[in-house]
Amino acid sequence: MKSIDIVSKLPYSAPFLFVDEITSISENAIEGNYFFDKSHDFYRGHFKEIPVTPGAILAECMAQIGVVSLGIYLLSKEAAALGTPRIAMTSSNVDFIKPVYPGEKVFVKSEKQYFRFNKLKCVVIMTDTQDNILCRGEISGMILKSGS
């Protein structure tokens, strides 16, 4: 499965799609990026003096790249048998280290910790263009079969 196919299979669209591209993928890891455009509506009210990307949005970006996209890749061979699987975030524990401002590009790296009993758990790190860690944590998701 090509990385562009993975992005097209994500169950999100603008303004809630936080994946621009998947740059690397394997059975155990995934990397991708996203550019936080200044025009995003959430910047208007999240600190009116100095806009900052909300932590919930950063965690969502990490989950979309690090868990959902990796889950789609891992399930690509089983997709015919499963129907159209859905991936739902079940838990996250993210430490926010540095703020992400409007106009910044972020890079997400995720390593699979385990994938069993329909649960995918990953260690995910978000960095900036200088490779500074912005946030990191563990994110888990459940694979739900169609109709579940």
Please write the tens of the pLDDT for every residue from 97-141: 999 999 999 999 999 999 998 899 999 999 999 999 999 999 999
Q: Please report the domains of the chain, with CATH numbers, ordered by start residue.
A: 3-144 (3.10.129.10)
Give me the catalytic one of 9, 40, 46, 119: 46
Q: Rounded to whole angstroms, how far apart are CA atoms 117 and 21?
A: 28
Q: Is the dihedral of CA 87, 94, 55, 29 positive or negative?
A: negative
Please give the share of the chain, as a percent, with pLDDT higher than 90: 68
Token code pair at residue 146: 């169609």
CA distance 52 to 54: 6
Q: How far is CA 32 from the centre of its chain?
A: 8
- Over residues 37-65, the pLDDT tens digits come to 999 999 998 888 899 999 999 999 999 99
- Active site (annotated) includes residue 46: yes
User: Residues 68-101: pLDDT tens digits?
Assistant: 999 989 887 665 555 556 677 788 899 999 999 9
Q: Is the CA virtual torsion 37, 134, 54, 25 positive or negative?
A: positive
